[in-house]
Chain A
Amino acid sequence: MSISYETVIGLEVHAQLKTESKIFSAASTQFGAPPNTNTDPVTLGLPGVLPVLNMGVVEMAIKAGLATHCEIAPRSIFARKNYFYPDLPKGYQISQFELPICQRGWINIKVDGQEKKIGITRIHLEEDAGKLLHDFGDSDFSHVDLNRAGVPLIETVSEPDMRSAAEASAYLKHLRDIFVYLGICDGNMEEGSFRCDANVSIRPVGQKEFGTRAELKNMNSFRNVERAIEYEVKRQEALLADGKVVVQETRLWNADKGVSESMRSKEEANDYRYFPDPDLLPLIVDAKWVERLKNSQPELAHEKSLRFQKDYNIPEYDAEVLTADRSIAEHWEKSVQGLKSLEAKKVSNLYMTHLLKLQKETPETFERITSEKVIEILHLVESGKISLNMAKEVLDEVAGSDKAVADIIAAKGFVQISDTATLEQTIDKVLADNPDNLAAYKGGKEKLFGFFVGQTMKALGGKANPQVVNDILKKKLKS
């Protein structure tokens, strides 16, 4: 007899906030600084220092809470989480335990076209720990870099609402998109500025109580989160099938081997002896502050996508591709607004087929292609001076050099021929040179229309304005 199981997943996500200074001190948070240079007496946990909360951190946490429909606590407190490890200079991490800044929120995810609401239990503030290097210098020692110690984090804890690896991945992506759009986190999983732990358990379908869960760590990409969860579900099913039990433990995902390994339950693990930090008075957030932040929240990807579909009449697919990256969405909208007659759909095509590729392949030079440049070039398309295909080549050149648009066009010899007299002359010649095809067309083979267009374009080196060629040809073939 085989029992079918249901998977239950809850995620804990740590997001590094993009502040200039640390959560409780004025040391810099800049990534990649020489070891231990982003430190000060507070970061180093020297005796006699006092932490002072960074207002920017609080604002970012409130923004995250508002965007995820959380209640913002008017009063929250900081707690000490006590443990000894060399990456933690004070012997405790300042976090929030009983009264976090945000609670009871939710976000909607979409998997296979189905919307689903995922609850968010809480978002709390805490400081990051330092970094240990095990392969530096003398290999008999570990080396401590405290640059990351005290960097602000928000930890977002979800309800155990997800039922598959795909749902977990969708939730994680959506949460990251929100934080990146808000400008509070750069969302980089590989560099660790957006990290995820997953609590995974299984239970027989229909059972109410949760099964024993394992906590998965060390998954540094969306793909690895999915793989690790899928692996864990299979592992637990196999255990139960063998009549064994799942033990509650932390497991580290090993991406190279494609397996997770037990992290040998640390003795007295989870005995962190939390207590309110006497050094930090309660964090009071007044309603006016929340209101002000609410009013300054940027439009998020989903809302933007709906608005693009409505305001610019572009398909859902286009709107979602364009809004996936806030900078691209804003770039596109600015370009469209600067144009006179070119349809938004054509501009959307240009971005999706060409500019997104440029941004991905050559991000360092993509910056040269401003919306202003796109508008300047597309105005030439609107006035019939160049074609959309020529515009693409001009954009490539803009990215590759500092040349002016006019110079690029002159150098490439891009001139679209829209002059009716020249075009008529060429078309007459094409028709005269192909009497057989002309007769066939007139006899009903209307597909040959494309042939005549092609011949005309070829005769003019591809520079003819296709719209004008079409119009003249239609007229001539009718007569």
Chain B
Amino acid sequence: MIQKDTVATIAKLARLEFTEPELMTFADQMNQILGFMEQLDGLDTSKIEATSHAVDIPGPMREDRVVESNVIESLLKENAPDHEDNFFRVPKVL
């Protein structure tokens, strides 16, 4: 059973803030989702490996080669909330 506290912990890790009623709602919804999953308990899965990916094909790879990208110039100026010289600037974290 997912308790309100569990939802609060997950929310904190995700840097999300919720009201008490919201926490209750999410706890209920999560329990419903887990309820669906519990149907699997009726099956013998002891010999089945955990599925990590829905398609079973090898991941593609690339050669170790550098390709220049100039995205940073416009990104710093136009997208970053704050920057100084070539750095992103963030609230002091030390």
Contact = CB atoms under 8 A, between A and B. Distances in A.
Interface of A: 19-21, 26-28, 34-37, 39-41, 44, 46, 52-58, 77, 82, 84-86, 98, 132-134, 136-138, 140-146, 268, 271, 273, 276, 278, 280-284
Nearest to B92: A142
Given A137-B85, A142-B93, A281-B57, A36 B64 contact: no
Interface residues of B, number: 38
A284 B66 contact: no
Nearest to A24: B62
A54 B64 CA distance: 6
Given A55-B64, A84-B15, A281-B57, A36 B94 contact: no
Contacts of B66: 20-21, 26-28
B75 interface: yes
Contact of B61 (A52, A136, A268): A52
Interface of B: 9, 12-13, 15, 50, 52-53, 55-69, 71-72, 75-76, 82, 84-94
Contact of B90 (A20, A52, A56, A142): A142
A44 B86 contact: no
Given A39-B72, A268-B12, A282 B87 contact: no
B1 to A, nearest CB: 19
Nearest to B10: A273
A136 to B, nearest CB: 7
B69 A143 contact: no
A317 B28 CA distance: 71
A27 B69 contact: yes
A301 B63 CA distance: 29
A40 B61 contact: no
Given A27-B66, A268-B12, A283 B59 contact: yes
A154 to B, nearest CB: 15
A44 B75 contact: yes
Contacts of B91: 141-142
Instruction: Report the 8 A-B pairs with minimum CB-CB distance, sorted nearest first.
Output: A56-B64, A281-B59, A40-B69, A26-B67, A284-B58, A143-B87, A276-B52, A144-B88
